[in-house]
Each structure stands twice: as structure tokens, then as C-alpha cells.
């Protein structure tokens, strides 16, 4: 026999609900989950929400949290990744390699959480509207482009277009040995791979190295923000934001130079910007 509405057992907090579920209760009646502003009715006879406002009640318990995950596994091949990149004029198949923009793994997570400071009480303009958010990315680095610019092949492909690099590549004489730039002689020569794995090609012959076949340093980046939205009037809103890009100041090395005729062959010569912070104030009306 159903119980009267006045006889419904109240559950006013999340802790009470968790403790009640842990006790293994399986009621057939509806119970009332209370918040400061509204009541929700639901049943857990089968430990699942039912259409009668049950979904709303579960969402209310998770209110304020948003999470978005994205992952891509890919491989891109071509014989020219952009306008002006040279292709071997005798055997175009020799130019086929990883695309310059290839990235095997790319994982991105974005998140935001509305801080429940309003539960502490106090003036709404001080406690309401606080939020933390961020974007985190882990990705494979871009491929290293191998080039030999001395025209040992006698094909004359250098300086033949908008990109002045030749279609020639050096000889690969050993497996590529990757190095950790953080443990090298920085701030001197910071090598990402051992240049002794490659040598000059023979005169009149193409080099044996593929144009692009291994990747440079990966991406490990965290961006974070704290914001506060203040409702001044019904139509006027003030938003304050404090943002930190690369919050952990992790060195994001750019792709090393792959031209074996240069003294900086195999070295890290550039990095993405370090930690950057900015403050902003925006008035919406």
C-alpha cells in the first residue's frame, strides 16, 4: 500500500543519500531528496532512476561539473605536405613519407567545475559564480623532416620553389637514437637525436633515409583558469578571469632541425612559450 505524501521519508543531503544506499535499502515507495530550493521525487526499487523527476535528482547531485574527453589515433602519409615542398622528379615514391602534420596520438580533456561556495552562505555577489576550468593535452610531436641540401644527387631540386629545401635526404647508417634534451649539455647543444645515425649520401645517388619517419618532442600542456561571474542587475553581468597557460611551466620543445648539412642538425633550437598568466575583466550588458 502506497504511503501518503506527508509520510515520505526526507533525504536532505548527499551524505544521507550515500549512507542510505550503502545500507542496501530497496524501497518501493518514493523518497524525497531535498535541496535548499526544490524537492525531487524518485524511486530506487531497481537501483535506477525513473521518469518521475528521477533523472533531475541525479543530475542535481552532479550539478556544476562538466567534462569532455577526446582522443585521436591517426597516421597521415603523402609525398608533399604543402605548397612548395619538393618531390623527387625521377621517382616520386621516394618522397612518400609521414605528413608534416602527422600526430599519432592526440588526447585532449577539457573540464569545468562550478565551485559550491554558495553553500557556505553569505552575500550572493561574493559566494555565487565561482568556477575553475582547464584544458589538458597530451600529443605526439610533429615528424622530423630529413633534408640534405648539398645536391649530392645532382637532381638540382634545391631552391626550386617557395620552400627552398631540396628533395634529397641523407643516408641512414644506424637506428635513430633519441636523446633527452633536458639531460644534454643545455644551454649548449641540446640534442634530440644522435646525428651520427646519418651520413652524407654518395655522389649521384639518393640518400637511404626516409623524408619523415620519426616524430619530434611531444606535447604535455596544462591550461587553467579561475573565473567569477557577478550578476549586478538583471541585464548586467561582470566577469573576472585569471588564466594560466602552461601552468606547470613544462618545457614544450619544438621539432629539431633535420638538415644534415647544418651544424645544428639534430638539436633543439626552439621551444613553445613558457608559463603565461593574464587577468581580464568583462562587463556584459
Residue 25's pLDDT is 54
pLDDT by residue, tens only, the chain of 285 residues? 444 445 545 555 556 655 655 665 544 444 444 443 333 333 333 333 333 343 333 333 457 788 889 999 999 999 988 887 888 888 999 999 999 999 999 999 999 999 988 888 778 888 888 999 999 999 999 999 999 988 888 888 877 666 778 889 999 999 999 998 887 666 667 899 999 999 999 999 989 999 999 999 999 999 999 999 998 888 999 999 999 999 999 999 999 999 998 999 999 999 999 999 999 999 998
Residue 39's pLDDT is 36
The C-alpha R_g of the chain, in whole angstroms, comes to 30
Is the C-alpha dihedral spanning 183, 189, 193, 194 positive or negative? negative
List the one residue out of 159, 142, 103, 102 whose CA is nearest residue 256: 142
- Rounded to whole angstroms, the Cα distance separating 207 from 241 reads 54
- CA 237 from centroid of its chain's CA atoms: 30
Residue 124's pLDDT is 81
**Residue 209 host element (H or E):** none
Considering the entire predicted model, what is its pTM? 0.71
Contact indicator for 212, 144 with CB cutoff of 8 Å: yes
Residue 27's pLDDT is 46
- Rounded to whole angstroms, the Cα distance separating 21 from 6 reads 22
Cα→Cα distances 185→48, 160, 272, Å:
60, 37, 20
List the one residue out of 185, 176, 161 whose CA is nearest residue 260: 176
Q: What is the dihedral of CA 77, 135, 249, 238, to 10 degrees?
A: 140
Residue 202's pLDDT is 92
Amino acid at each position: 500500500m502506497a504511503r501518503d505524501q506527508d509520510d515520505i521519508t526526507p533525504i536532505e543531503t548527499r551524505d544521507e543519500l550515500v549512507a542510505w544506499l550503502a545500507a542496501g535499502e530497496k524501497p518501493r515507495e518514493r523518497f524525497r531528496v531535498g535541496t535548499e530550493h526544490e524537492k525531487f521525487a524518485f524511486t530506487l526499487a531497481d537501483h535506477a532512476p525513473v521518469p518521475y523527476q528521477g533523472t533531475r535528482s541525479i543530475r542535481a547531485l552532479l550539478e556544476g561539473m562538466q567534462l569532455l574527453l577526446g582522443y585521436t589515433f591517426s597516421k597521415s602519409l603523402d609525398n608533399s605536405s604543402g605548397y612548395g615542398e619538393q618531390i623527387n622528379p625521377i621517382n616520386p615514391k621516394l618522397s612518400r613519407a609521414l605528413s608534416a602534420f602527422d600526430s599519432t596520438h592526440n588526447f585532449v580533456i577539457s573540464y569545468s567545475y562550478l565551485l559550491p561556495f554558495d553553500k557556505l552562505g553569505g552575500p550572493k555577489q561574493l559566494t555565487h559564480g565561482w568556477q575553475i576550468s582547464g584544458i589538458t593535452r597530451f600529443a605526439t610531436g610533429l615528424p622530423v623532416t630529413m633534408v640534405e641540401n648539398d645536391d649530392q644527387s645532382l637532381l638540382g631540386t634545391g631552391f626550386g620553389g617557395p620552400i627552398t629545401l631540396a628533395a634529397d635526404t641523407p643516408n641512414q647508417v644506424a637506428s635513430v637514437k633519441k636523446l633527452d634534451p633536458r639531460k644534454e649539455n643545455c644551454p649548449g647543444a641540446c640534442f634530440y637525436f644522435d646525428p651520427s645515425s646519418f651520413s652524407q649520401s654518395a655522389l649521384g645517388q639518393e640518400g637511404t633515409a626516409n623524408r619523415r619517419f620519426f616524430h619530434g618532442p611531444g606535447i604535455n600542456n596544462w591550461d587553467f583558469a579561475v573565473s567569477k561571474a557577478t550578476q549586478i542587475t538583471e541585464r548586467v553581468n561582470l566577469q573576472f578571469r585569471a588564466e594560466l597557460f602552461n601552468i606547470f611551466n613544462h618545457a614544450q620543445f619544438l621539432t629539431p632541425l633535420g638538415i644534415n648539412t647544418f651544424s645544428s642538425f639534430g638539436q633543439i633550437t626552439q621551444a613553445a612559450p613558457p608559463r603565461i598568466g593574464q587577468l581580464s575583466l568583462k562587463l556584459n550588458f
